[in-house]
Amino acid sequence: MFVPHGGFARAVTSGSESAKSRWSRRVRTIPMMLGATILGLALSPLLLVGAAVVDLAKGRLRLPTARVVLFLLQYGINDSIEIVLAPFYWLLAGFGTRLAGERSIRRHERLQRWSVAVLARRAERLLGLRLEIDTTSAEALTPGPVIVLCRHVNIVDASLPTLLYQRLGYRTRGVIMAELLADPGFDLIYGRTGSVFIPRDNGPEALAVMSQLADATDPSTATVIYPEGRLFRADRLTRSLTRLIDQNPARGERLRGLRHLLPPRPGGTLALLATIPTADVVVMTHTGLDRFGSFKELAAAVPLREPIRIATWRVPRHEIPDDDLARIGWLDDQWLRADRRVAASIAEAEADTDTDTDADTSQRRCRAQALAPARVAGAAH
């Protein structure tokens, strides 16, 4: 197990948000989460029985609905624990005056690691979410500091980099869309451990917030960003490429070959490269979630039979251009490589599935042939 070294990162939040705006949100989201969790636990026997009845009525013997209910209850419990502990941590930090101190950040990070680890175990046991990463890809993750560029196809993949780096003893800092502030666990804890929440449609403000990440980086830090800016959808890819060709024909033509990833939005990546000038870049792709465009589609398929296959490669800092225009071209090249990697992984998984299906069919035929004489003999008697 890798043991992190170096100092502790300064807590970072979406700094332009006023206290009035922040608390007008929290007075709604915190009671809603606590109330939903308490109600869910109180009604859990009925919810589970009802979910099991629905599953069995539809012939789903692996009980996907019941599994999802159990997972969501665990998520609510985790979020509620974070909500309850947050004010105590605030008090321990000198009524909030020392939230940026090492002891306060370490305290919040322990809570964050516990929550991620618990949800990862539940996701594996209940939802069948298993991770596979080859040795070469695993070795590319370290050392730090690193900037991680990850594809984004399903809400579940938002936790993959954190889970991988947490197992290595690293801390992660996320560039997170401000919509997730509606989750009070994210709102109260993640900002205090160094992640930033950025507005989706306000580029200058987002870049200003990301500039604060320089103080939240040390050799045991992985800073994660999703350059696509939103979940992949085939129709979004078509619209994005059409718009890009209209706005920037040369870049649109360069990225025309994308099939599995949206064109990267360069602003955030450029800001991180400027903000963390010593960090290498790790590009992270994954397959296994592509068939599930929403959590609802994923929930209907659990427990998943196929693992999430993760592939990464590392780009040393000296191989990354210095000027922004060249960096955009470099980012596009990395994204095209990622798209090819995803396509190859999907094809490989489909070939494995076909092979398994053929093997199962062959085994069934062999069993049928072995049983046929016995059936004939039985009929003769």
| Annotated domain spans of the chain | 27-127, 131-357
Q: Is the pLDDT of residue 362 over 90?
A: no
Q: Is the pLDDT of residue 354 over 80?
A: no
Arithmetic mean of pLDDT, 205-227: 81
- Model confidence pLDDT, tens digit, residues 193-202: 888 888 776 5
Other CB atoms within 10 A of residue 30 CB: 19
- Print the SS3 string covering 161-221: HHHHHHHCCCEEEEEEEHHHHHCHHHHHHHHHHCCEEECCCCHHHHHHHHHHHHHHCCCCE
| Residues paired with residue 280 on neighbouring β-strands, in sequence order | 146
pLDDT of residue 2: 33
pLDDT of residue 202: 59
Arithmetic mean of pLDDT, 219-223: 93
Task: Give the pLDDT band (50/70/90) at residue 110.
Answer: very high
User: How far from chain centre, in Å, is Cα 238?
Assistant: 24
- Model confidence pLDDT, tens digit, residues 312-331: 999 999 999 999 999 999 99
Cis peptide before 45 (omega within 30 of 0): no
Cis peptide before 204 (omega within 30 of 0): no
Q: Which CATH class is domain 131-357?
A: alpha beta
Task: Give the pLDDT band (50/70/90) at residue 128.
Answer: very high
Contact at 8 Å (CB) between 330 and 320? yes
In this prediction, what percent of the chain has a pLDDT beyond 70? 86
Task: Give the separation between CA 189 and CA 154, rounded to whole angstroms.
Answer: 23
- Model confidence pLDDT, tens digit, residues 248-270: 999 999 999 999 999 999 988 99
Q: Which two tokens stand for residue 150?
A: 């990850």
Arithmetic mean of pLDDT, 124-130: 95
| DSSP character at residue 63 | -
Using DSSP's 3-state secondary structure scheme, residue 92 falls into helix
Arithmetic mean of pLDDT, 60-75: 96
| Residues paired with residue 149 on neighbouring β-strands, in sequence order | 225, 283
Task: Give the separation between CA 111 and CA 107, rounded to whole angstroms.
Answer: 7
Arithmetic mean of pLDDT, 82-106: 94
Task: Give the separation between CA 377 and CA 379, rounded to whole angstroms.
Answer: 5
pLDDT of residue 132: 95
Helix axes 324-380 and 266-275, enclosed angle (nearest 10): 120
Q: Is the pLDDT of residue 178 over 90?
A: no
Other CB atoms within 10 A of residue 295 CB: 13
Of 3-7, 65-69, 344-348, the least confident = 3-7
pLDDT of residue 214: 72
pLDDT of residue 356: 54
Q: Is the pLDDT of residue 10 over 80?
A: no
Helix axes 266-275 and 203-210, enclosed angle (nearest 10): 30
Arithmetic mean of pLDDT, 362-366: 45
- Model confidence pLDDT, tens digit, residues 273-319: 999 999 999 999 999 999 887 788 888 899 999 999 999 999 999 99
Identity of residue 329:
G
Arithmetic mean of pLDDT, 222-242: 94
Q: What is the mean pLDDT of the chain?
A: 86
| DSSP character at residue 125 | I
Q: Which two tokens stand for residue 180?
A: 């997730």
Q: Is the pLDDT of residue 239 over 50?
A: yes
Q: Is the pLDDT of residue 369 over 50?
A: no
